[in-house]
Structures are given as structure tokens and as C-alpha cells.
Copies of this chain bind each other. A is one copy, B any other.
Amino acid sequence: MTAGDIDLFSPVSVGRVSQVIVDQVRLLLRQGRLLPGDRLPSERELCGRFGVSRVTVREALRVLEAGGLVDIRVGARGGAFVTSPDPTKLGEGLADLMVLSQLTAANVTEARTVVELGIVPMVVERATAADLDDLESLCRSGREALEAGRYTMEMSADFHVRVAASTHNPAVEMLVRSFHGPLLMSLKEAKVAEPLMGHLGAEEHLGFVQAVRAGAVAAATDLMRVHIGRTATRVRDQAGKATLDVVRGGPNRI
């Protein structure tokens, strides 16, 4: 090479073709040229548009689907639809990451505690009357379900998510929501071991709402700390195995 060190020749093409398609769709999403509910062209049409085979298009769609960006439906009028925002996938990613990282349930619960305690001042400051009414309504139906013996962890999770929503910051809500997805699963067994939890928990929920209504930041924070602390203790107790054993999806088919 006598031409010197200048890079006259640049790499001609790198990466996967399917990745290019993924990036392109993501770009459209970012630019707002694709909105939730929109339907992408059919696989066969995308083949023509991008000039690639159907396999490649399908791999791109699979990546987008795994990222929770599109929802794929079969049959006539099916196709890839841009999803409404839903942190569920993010929670799954979190769960996967946890098992890969050997995170303990206690670790995750502590992180969750940081977030849920940290938002209390925001909740107290910003919660509207409608927020408080909703929260009390959740408490009431929780108590009824409790007496009927059908109080579920989902109901508790709903309450915590609704609290987060009262910050009127969608990012905060999403953060809490993503915690409550996989975490819920790890706690389901705990509930079996300690059915009383629902009772105390429901009372504490109501107390928290009243503290928020009174504008008592410190009191609300303390209540929440105790409330989550109980969960943390249970998690730590039942975590005989060190890593969070997330149970997701149904039993294996086939």
C-alpha cells in the first residue's frame, strides 16, 4: 500500500440486513411517522419495499416484537401493529437481566423501595382529588376482596401503580409498573406462605392515602416504608435460593 494511511477504502457494508430494517422502523417510530395502532405493510409487501427476502423481514419484525414495539396478529387483516406503550416487556427484560446477573430478590426489592419512597413527596404535592378518590376506591375494593378471601397480589400491585400515576409523571409510573411485573411473580408463592399479608397491607394502603390527603409527607413516607419493608422481609425469608425465581409464561407447550 503505497497510497499512504488515508482510508480511501471504507468498509462496504456492515451488520445484518434485518437490523437495518429494524433501525428504519424505529426511526419512523421516533419521528412520529408511525403511531400506536398503525399497521405496518404486510410481510410480503415489506419484502418488495426493502428488496429483501421474507425471512429477513420476519427476523426484523421478530426483533421489533421482542422489543415490545409492534404486536403481530395472524389471519386476514392481520399484520404488525404499532403497540400502545406498555412496560410489560421492559419488566420481562428486567427479569431476564436479574437472573443473568444473579440479582437477589432482596436486591430488587430494595431498588423498588428507593423508587416508591422517593416519589412520595411528588405524590403528596401533585395528587388531585380524582387521584385520591381512585386510590380510596382501590382500597375499598381491596378490603371487600379481602373479606371475600380473594385478595390478590395484582390488586396490591394496582394500588402501587396508581400511586405512581398520581405523580403525573408517566416515566415514574412506567418505572414502578415495570417493577411490579416480574416482582409480582416472585411474590406469589410468598402470599401462600403468609395469607395475612393482604390484611395488613390493605390497611396500610388506606392509611397511606389518608396521609397523602392530609399532605403529611413524612407520615406517608413512613407508612410506605413500613409497608414495603414487610414485603422485603417476606421476600428475604422465602429467598432460600439466592436468585429470584421468576415464573413467567405458561407451561411449555409441545
A residues with a Cβ closer than 8 A to B are 13-15, 17-18, 20, 23-24, 26-27, 29-30, 32, 36, 55, 58-59, 62-63, 65-69, 82-85, 87, 89-90, 92-94, 96-103, 107-108, 110-111, 114-115, 117-119, 122, 169-172, 174-175, 243, 245-246, 249, 252-254
Contact = CB atoms under 8 A, between A and B. Distances in A.
A119 B9 CA distance: 46
Nearest to A12: B253
B115 A101 contact: no
Contacts of A59: 58-59, 62
B97 A93 contact: no
Contacts of A14: 253
Contact of A96 (B68, B96, B253): B68
A169 B110 contact: yes
Contacts of A36: 100
